[in-house]
Amino acid sequence: MEWKFKKNEKWNKVILVVLCGILLLVIAMPQKAAGTATGGSVASEDTTVSYEERLRTLLADTYGADMVDVLIYAGDRTQTYYGSGGKESITGVLITIKKEAVTGTTIADITLAVCALFDLPAHKVAVLVKK
């Protein structure tokens, strides 16, 4: 197969180098944070508290009133939650549940749900049984 543009071989190389440079610039450009793209606001202590209350209510509906307690720790780490704008993120979740509400898969179910909800790895979610 022959190149049709052999006459302008010098210009072909220049164009190829310029296009490769543009491609590298596009790849290296920083992306917008997910929270700012969706118009999320800066997270505050109120946001963390509201997430705690919503999770506590959901777990209380599932396992019974006064059976669970929730603590969410937020700091400036890499895992961001929806609406945080990338400024603050959930770095750990602690859930305590009364012994009476625990069955064979309760702890695994709660851990799985919290990991999916806040996009956290399992080692950042602790579920403890209270006496």
Query: What 3-state class would DSSP assign to 38?
Result: coil
DSSP conformation letters of 12-23: HHHHHHHHHHHH
Q: How many residues are given for the chain?
A: 131
Rounded alpha-carbon distances, angstroms, from residue 13 to 25, 120, 130 = 18, 48, 71
Measured distance CA(83)–CA(68) in Å, rounded: 25
Q: Is the pTM of this model over 0.75?
A: no
Q: Return the top range by mean pLDDT from 22-31, 38-47, 58-67, 87-96.
A: 58-67
Please identify, in words, the CATH class of the domain defined by 36-130.
alpha beta
- Confidence class of residue 65 from pLDDT cuts 50, 70 and 90? confident
Burial of 9 (0-12, 13-18, 19+ CB in 10 A): exposed
Output 44 or 107, whichever has higher pLDDT. 107
